[in-house]
Amino acid sequence: MSAVAADAVRWDAQRLAAWSDPRLSQVEAALSQWVGIDAPVLLGDAMRYAVLDGGKRLRPLLVFAASEAVGGQAEAALRAACAVELIHAYSLVHDDLPCMDNDVLRRGKPTVHVKFGEADALLAGDALQALAFELLTPEGDIAPAVQARLCRLLARAAGSQGMAGGQAIDLASVGLALDEAQLREMHRMKTGALLLGSVEMGAACAGAVEPASLQALRDYGAAIGLAFQVVDDILDVTADSQTLGKTAGKDAASDKPTYVSLLGLDGARAEAGTLLAQALAALDRSALADTAALRALAHMVVDRDR
Amino acid sequence: MSAVAADAVRWDAQRLAAWSDPRLSQVEAALSQWVGIDAPVLLGDAMRYAVLDGGKRLRPLLVFAASEAVGGQAEAALRAACAVELIHAYSLVHDDLPCMDNDVLRRGKPTVHVKFGEADALLAGDALQALAFELLTPEGDIAPAVQARLCRLLARAAGSQGMAGGQAIDLASVGLALDEAQLREMHRMKTGALLLGSVEMGAACAGAVEPASLQALRDYGAAIGLAFQVVDDILDVTADSQTLGKTAGKDAASDKPTYVSLLGLDGARAEAGTLLAQALAALDRSALADTAALRALAHMVVDRDR
């Protein structure tokens, strides 16, 4: 089946919501139960403020969709979904600090350091990262091999060759003229690694996955990882701060290289479309039984307005 | 055998060095091979600067000693030793930041943020934490159950109910009058959790440990974890900055509660002696075959001058 043909049977918004809403409720309930509980009071408050009741939860949804496509274990998927969201949340807290992007607004609310002070924001981010790995390694029902694989994938996605490494390149690139390959590599690490990692972690919730299907999921994850950032760059130019829930126009103002500055607005939109087609084509090539949720999420990444 | 009798056969400095030197060399070589490699250049440099060629490596030595006492797997112990040192190193980098202790000197050298800037120091700390969990989960020879247990222990020791939580209490306690129980709880989390975690991780390098021995190791780890902080407080008053390799007298200057401010210098010294005796007595109660290294390290913690 071609990507276009597959596209013809894609879920509408209502069908996607019917799939995602119960999973999002499950994630919210689990995060509320697991984050900041029994932590010293201010630290626990800062952790919960950073994580609860905010964000699109795209990464958890990718974990669920990939896990369900390969028949992954539900408890492992829930923990992986929460863990990857904690890493995402901690990165935002640290990213917003004065020594980084110095942002005061996130998801329409004051950033963590504005509300709790810089020191507690720093510690809350640190503690959220540790908690992510704690959630992945419960005593009990999840096979140790799955636990270890989930930790490995998350650590790689978050570390110096993934998200943190991409942020360091981003820091160093302000005012520089990156070419498209360099920009792509930076974003593959900074944003793409954790999105790809979400898909890989979902796949890791099954004991074993047929190699071709695993590769298809990886190709899908890499494509939507980049597409996400291309659309982010577009929205930074086209959306207003209220819709975004964060300060719009920051990249242009800080002279950061973006897909829009490199390809123009039309070029960036075309690139997002190409990456979407690549993601869908990867799923077409696979022998995975049910990829409807993955497809719908790919469309959501590209069509989103915030 | 009583603690005092056991003490009579304790290793002298030469015997301890003969045990620890080859293990320290192994840790240095492994860290040099694993830290900051293939990271973006400045980030990798900052990570290596924070980790290599510095510190007493007490935590790695505790991992080795505990692992050897229970017959743990050598490769697991080496990785656990490095992982716990990475967590320690990242905590120092973040602790030294201007929004925390604002320290410019560490181990006799400029702190990471002084040398690389605040943003790269923040990211280097974040990446070191992720790397710790990556080191614990290699594809290959270590049993997945051991990998998962090591990740669980490290995450708990580092997180909001361990090190990060203790730091948050420390932050909130400046200028407050803590009583001894509160001070003890703060230090149990801030410093003790990772030292205890080192001992527990060493024990986790064996497939299974007899429960009474595991409890003895935990009691040992908890006692030396507190003893370490009591001595730290003593040295903050009695040692000079050059010997310490960091700024002396900071706690008193910043009006932080310490064991010395609470118990006086003689009282703090007596407390350190009591904790040492507790640590040795815990080992005496155990059926562990070879505890000489653990004993020597307990003495080293209490007798150190930096």
Percent of chain B with pLDDT over 70: 92
B273 touches chain A (CB under 8 A): no
Q: Minimal CA–CA distance to B64: which of B91, B39, B82? A: B82
Measured distance CA(B73)–CA(B67) in Å, rounded:
7
- Are B122 and A122 an interchain contact pair (Cβ–Cβ within 8 Å)? yes
Measured distance CA(A166)–CA(A189) in Å, rounded:
5
Measured distance CA(A118)–CA(A241) in Å, rounded:
23
Q: Among the listed ranges A29-43, A91-105, A235-249, A279-293, which one has the minimum average pLDDT value?
A: A235-249
Residue whose tokens read 């700024």: B247
Set of chain A residues whose Cβ sits within 8 Å of the Cβ of B117: 99
Set of chain B residues whose Cβ sits within 8 Å of the Cβ of A160: 36, 38-40, 43-44, 47, 127, 130-131
Set of chain A residues whose Cβ sits within 8 Å of the Cβ of B39: 160-161, 165, 168
Residue whose tokens read 């998200």: A163
Set of chain A residues whose Cβ sits within 8 Å of the Cβ of B143: 144
Going B116 to B122 to B123 to B128, the CA torsion angle's sign is positive
Buried b / exposed e over B180-204, threshold 16 CB at 10 Å, is eeebbbbbbbbbbbbbbbbbbbbbb
How does DSSP assign A26-64, residue by residue? HHHHHHHHHSSTTS-HHHHHHHHHHHTT-S--HHHHHHH
Percent of chain B with pLDDT over 90: 77
Amino acid at B109: K
- Higher-scoring residue by pLDDT: B191, B55: B191
Q: Among the listed ranges A89-103, A240-254, B27-41, which one has the minimum average pLDDT value?
A: A240-254
Q: Which of A130, A131, A155 sits opposite B137 (nearest CB)?
A: A155
Query: What is the pLDDT of chain A when averaged over all its residues?
Result: 92
Nearest-Cα distance to chain A for B208, in Å, is 15
| Predicted complex ipTM exceeds 0.90 | yes
Nearest-Cα distance to chain B for A43, in Å, is 6
Q: How far is CA B50 from CA B89, B90, B94, B245, B301, in A?
A: 6, 8, 11, 14, 22
Within 10 A of A273 (CB to CB), how many other CB atoms are there? 13
Which range marks the domain in which residue B158 is found? Answer: 3-303
pLDDT of residue A3: 47
pLDDT at A178 over 90: no
pLDDT tens sequence across B56-68: 899 999 999 999 9
Instruction: Say how many domains are in chain B.
Output: 1
Band of residue A78 on the pLDDT scale cut at 50, 70, 90: very high
pLDDT tens sequence across B8-35: 467 888 999 999 999 999 999 999 999 9
pLDDT at B131 over 90: yes
Measured distance CA(B169)–CA(A304) in Å, rounded:
41
In contact, B236 and B172? CB cutoff 8 Å:
no
Query: What is the pLDDT of chain B when averaged over all its residues?
Result: 92
Measured distance CA(A146)–CA(A138) in Å, rounded:
11
Helix axes B292-303 and B58-70, enclosed angle (nearest 10): 160
- Are A40 and B133 an interchain contact pair (Cβ–Cβ within 8 Å)? no
The pLDDT of A158-184, averaged and rounded, is 91
Pairing status of strand B105-106 against strand A109-110: unpaired
Band of residue B3 on the pLDDT scale cut at 50, 70, 90: very low
- Higher-scoring residue by pLDDT: B208, A272: A272
Number of helices followed by number of strands (H, E) in chain B:
16, 2
pLDDT at A248 over 70: no
A160 touches chain B (CB under 8 A): yes
- Name the helix (H) or strand (E) containing A103: none
Nearest-Cα distance to chain A for B6, in Å, is 36
Read off the DSSP letter of residue B109: E
Tally A–B CB contacts below 8 A. 177
pLDDT of residue B19: 97
Nearest-Cα distance to chain B for A54, in Å, is 21
pLDDT of residue B157: 98
pLDDT at B105 over 50: yes
Measured distance CA(B45)–CA(B43) in Å, rounded:
5
Helix axes A144-158 and A74-95, enclosed angle (nearest 10): 20
Band of residue B4 on the pLDDT scale cut at 50, 70, 90: very low
Instruction: Select the residue from A79, A88, A113, A123 to test the B interface by mutation, using most B Cβ atoms within 10 A.
Output: A123
Q: What is the CATH number of the domain that holds A137?
A: 1.10.600.10
pLDDT tens sequence across B111-126: 999 999 999 999 999 9
φ, ψ for residue B160 (rounded to 5)?
-70, -20
